[in-house]
Chains A and B, each alone.
Chain A
Amino acid sequence: MPTTVVLGVIGSDAHVVGVTILERALEGAEFDVINLGVQSSQAEFVDAAAAHDAEAILVSSLYGHAEQDCAGLHDRLEDAGVDAVTYIGGNLSVGQDDFEKTRATFETLGFDRVFDPESGPTEAIAALRRDLQLNATESERLRVSS
């Protein structure tokens, strides 16, 4: 059975390109993807994850307001009975901050993994496979052996 992941750009952010490419990559890796698109509220993430019984929630933010936008998200997920791994990635603070500090901030908020802006879709997919104990797809095994 395919694994369902919820994907979206949180808050007032309209950066669409990364999430579009990530959606295609996840679909190519045979995940069922619910892409909420840009400017998605916490409630939209929670509702989609609950409605589709998602195993992972991938939050994207490029404009620097992520901390204010994500505060309280994990409490709402818990209240809604959502048991999913949560990742966040992008440009997560306004200035030129040290990434390890940013990572700690978002781990404290409750995210399982925090990705810097250099991370590509392959890293997110590899992490999902590790965290959800999934195997590589048939087509990828064929590609490796060909």
Chain B
Amino acid sequence: MVRDERLASDELRRIDESVRGTYPTGDEVDFEDALAFHDSLAPEKSFATVLESATGPLLQPRAGVARLDEQIDLLAFLHERGGADLLPTTIDSYTRDNEYGKASTGLERTRETGADALNGFPAVNHGVEGCRELITSVDAPIEVRHGTPDARLLAAITLAGGFQSFEGGPISYNIPYTKRGNLAETIEHWQFVDRLAGLYTEHGVRINREPFGPLTGTLVPPSIAIAIMVIEGLLAATQGVRSLTLGYGQVGNVVQDVAALRALRALGEEYLPDEVTVTTVFHEWMGGFPPDEARANGVIGLGAVTAAIARPDKVITKSPQEFQGVPTKEANAAGLRTTRQLMDMAMEQRLDIDGIEAERDLIERETRCLIDAVFEHGDGDVAAGTVRAFETGALDVPFAPSESANGACLPARDDDGRVRLFDPGDLALDDELVEIHAARLERRAETEDRSTSFHMVADDVDAISNGRLIGRPTDADGSGGVSDAD
């Protein structure tokens, strides 16, 4: 069984050699040479320093295209025309699946036809030299953003290539991202990634790590996201990571979102060792967007106002073209500017909203139950406990595609639009907490004059793209988006 112990240096070396042998560009990695390259970079490209010393929330978009020169142009555009403080390089989905051959085919097709055949930047195919050209060509810190369960080769190449921030983690990049990923194995793979980041850190190159808070991006109850962030933070800290950015995705109820971000910061600082610097990132709405740019800007604006109240260290922005897939660079920059305008205006005034502290108390109680359960399942070991807690469903994620998750809990919004548990599955929550959720949903059912059922869940999944927060029944269709289901 996997344990939460630091990977020994001979083990690190052995895995590093075997992983780098799986694709030709792996040969380009040389640790000493990589340290020298990082040392040559200007201080304004140091991701951890820029993020940790910021005085207000920094903005970062998502962006990745197949070709290197196009990626350089895209990032320069988002920096200059969108005002992005931090830049991303989003990796394509074939690379995330370790299908470097397919990524190569997509890259070749893009080069031949000029039309993007990949949904991101195939960093493994571009290799260490390609990554370094990107890092040197752009005047801001750049993070690797992806969704790769086994990101060992991607980490080896991109960290040697000069990136100083790496998104993901063993739970957040397994449970929502893959069907067949074995969780214990994924934890081992991320122990390697975190140990590599720790090794760079020990040699003076502080690598920022960012577990992916939004998970499935669909009505995730805050306590589930926060518990997973704390666990991934603990696992990373064991391997020597000292700069951790914990994430949370907007659910759209302002009180719940602000409460969740405050709980995330407080619990992150409480549970993680003192030598770790904890920062937080807020993701603008990750669910389905309205099929209309004007309305999509409204969703983005609500995220910006939430960020202004909660003051996370970083905000990941969305574009008004989110509905239709990868946005144009102009739309991506527009999402940044919309966020900046609203956030800056809202930050210059006092916005007092009732109920935040009570909601935060509820979220913290739930989160503690889940984290306690993980430690109990592992007899004090967080790695072993995570695997067992997912097996039993004591820890679970709504809509998780992974075979390693129980996948039994289901969320729905209450009468105020806050995300609650319609079905808690086997989550390790006190009875009293489960009753609070049930009572809130019962109140909504009364308002809507229908019983709580999967209809509510399905209606809520579509609600924001349909123009509302809560998936209320409409006159036209008494049972909502899945009228044939029962």
A contact set with B: CB distance below 8 Å: 11-14, 16-17, 20-21, 24-29, 37-39, 62-65, 67-68, 91, 93-96, 117-118, 120-122, 125, 137, 139-140
Residues of the B chain whose Cβ atoms lie less than 8 Å from the Cβ of A91: 324-325
Given contacts A12-B99, A65-B94, A94-B326, contact A24 B454 (CB under 8 A): yes
Q: How large is the interface on B (under 10, 10 to 19, 20 to 34, 35 or more residues)?
A: 35 or more
Contact present for B401 and A38 (CB under 8 Å): yes
Q: Which residue numbers of B lie inside 8 Å of A, CB to CB?
A: 93-94, 96-97, 99, 102, 105-106, 109, 115-119, 147, 176-180, 216, 218, 291, 321, 323-328, 331, 399-401, 454, 458, 461-462, 481-486
Q: Are A25 and B291 neighbours in the complex by a CB distance under 8 Å? A: no
Q: Are A39 and B325 in contact (CB under 8 A)?
A: no
Kindly provide the distance from the CB of B461 to the nearest chain A CB, expressed in whole angstroms: 6
New contact pairs (12) apart from A14-B401, A39-B97, A91-B325, CB-CB < 8 Å: A13-B93, A14-B178, A16-B176, A27-B485, A28-B484, A29-B485, A91-B324, A95-B115, A96-B327, A96-B328, A117-B291, A122-B484
Please determine whether B106 and A64 come into contact, CB atoms closer than 8 angstroms: no
Decide: B102 and A14 in contact? CB cutoff 8 A.
Answer: no
What is the bound-complex CA distance between A94 and B326, given in angstroms?
6
Which residues on A sit within 8 Å (CB–CB) of B454? 24
Contacts of B461 in A (CB 8 A): 17, 21
B205 to chain A, nearest CB (A): 31
Q: Are A12 and B399 in contact (CB under 8 A)?
A: no
Q: Is A17's CB under 8 angstroms from B218's CB?
A: yes
Residues in A with CB closer than 8 Å to B327 are 96
* A62→B217 CA distance, assembly (Å): 14
Query: Do B321 and A96 touch across chains, with their CB atoms under 8 A apart?
Result: yes
Question: Given the known A-B contacts A25-B484, A96-B321, A96-B327, are A12 and B93 also in contact in the complex, defined by CB atoms under 8 Å?
Answer: yes
Chain A interface helix/strand/loop/mixed: loop
Residues from chain B with Cβ under 8 Å of A93 in the complex: 325
Question: Would A117 and B324 be within 8 Å (CB), given that A16-B399, A17-B461 are in contact?
Answer: yes
Q: A12-B97, A94-B116 are in contact. Are A121 and B481 (CB under 8 A)?
A: yes
Q: Give the CA-CA distance A16 to B178 in the complex, in Å.
A: 10
A15, closest chain B residue (CB): B401
Whether A94 pairs with B117 at a CB distance below 8 angstroms is: yes
With A96-B325, A117-B324 as known contacts, state yes or no: A12 contacts B484, CB within 8 Å: no
Q: Would you give the shortest CB distance from A93 to chain B, in whole angstroms?
A: 7
> Once the chains bind, are A25 and B93 in contact (CB under 8 Å)?
no
Q: Known contacts A39-B97, A95-B325; decide if A21 and B401 are in contact (CB<8 Å).
A: no
**Contacts of A25 on B, CB cut-off 8 Å?**
458, 482, 484-485
Q: Is the CB of B485 within 8 A of A94?
A: no
Most chain A CB within a 10 A radius of its CB, from B96, B484, B486: B484
CB distance from B408 to the nearest CB of A (A): 13
Most chain A CB neighbours (cut-off 10 Å) among B109, B115, B118, B399: B399
Beyond A94-B119, A118-B291, whether A21 also contacts B481 by CB under 8 A is yes
What are 23 A-B interface contacts by the 8 Å CB criterion? Answer: A12-B96, A12-B97, A14-B147, A14-B177, A14-B401, A16-B401, A17-B461, A24-B454, A24-B482, A24-B485, A25-B484, A28-B486, A38-B178, A39-B178, A39-B179, A63-B119, A65-B117, A65-B119, A67-B117, A94-B115, A94-B118, A120-B481, A137-B484
Q: Which residue of A lies closest to B486 (CB)?
A: A28
- B residues within 8 A CB of A20? 399
Alpha-carbon separation in the docked complex, A123 to B218 (Å): 22
**Closest residue of A by beta carbon distance from B400:** A16
**Minimum distance in angstroms from A13 CB to a CB of chain B:** 6
Given the complex, which residues of B lie within 8 Å of A95, measured CB to CB? 115-116, 325-326, 328
In this complex, what residue of B is CB-closest to A136? B484
A94 lies within 8 A of B177 (CB): no
Among A24, A26, A29, A91: residue with most chain B CB under 10 A: A24
Cα A24 to Cα B462 in complex, Å, equals: 15
The answer to whether A38 and B179 have CB atoms under 8 Å apart is yes
In the assembled complex, the Cα of A14 lies from the Cα of B109 at a distance in Å of: 23
**Chain B residues with Cβ under 8 A from A12's Cβ?**
93-94, 96-97, 99, 102
Using CB atoms, name the residue of chain B closest to A9. B401
Asked if residues A94 and B325 are in contact (CB atoms below 8 Å), the reply is yes
| A91 to B462 Cα, complex, angstroms | 16
Residues of B within 8 A of A62 (CB): 325
Contact of A65 with B106 in the complex, beta carbons under 8 Å: yes
Contact residues in B for A117 (Cβ distance below 8 Å):
291, 323-324
Chain A residues positioned under 8 Å from B458 (CB to CB): 21, 24-25
Nearest chain A CB to B93 CB, angstrom units = 5
CA distance A121 to B477 in the complex (A): 13
**A68 x B106 contact (CB < 8 A):** yes
Choose from B93, B115, B118, B216 the contact partner of A16 (Cβ within 8 Å).
B216
In angstroms, Cα B485 to Cα A125, docked, is 11
A66 to B326, CA, bound (A): 14
Q: Name the residue on B nearest A146 (C-beta).
A: B478
In the complex, what distance in Å separates the CA atom of A118 from the CA atom of B484? Answer: 18
User: Which of B117, B324, B327 has the most CB atoms of chain A within a 10 A radius of its CB?
Assistant: B324
Query: Within the complex, what minimum Cβ distance (angstroms) separates A57 from chain B?
Result: 18
Which A residues are CB-close (under 8 A) to B118?
65, 94
- How distant is the Cα of A121 from the Cα of B482 in the complex, in angstroms? 6
Q: How far is the CA of A20 from the CA of B397 in the complex (A)?
A: 14
Contacts of B482 in A (CB 8 A): 21, 24-25, 28, 120-122
Chain B residues within an 8 Å CB radius of A120 = 462, 481-482
Complex: A18 Cα to B386 Cα, angstroms: 27
Contacts of A137 in B (CB 8 A): 484
Name A37's closest neighbour in chain B (CB-CB). B179
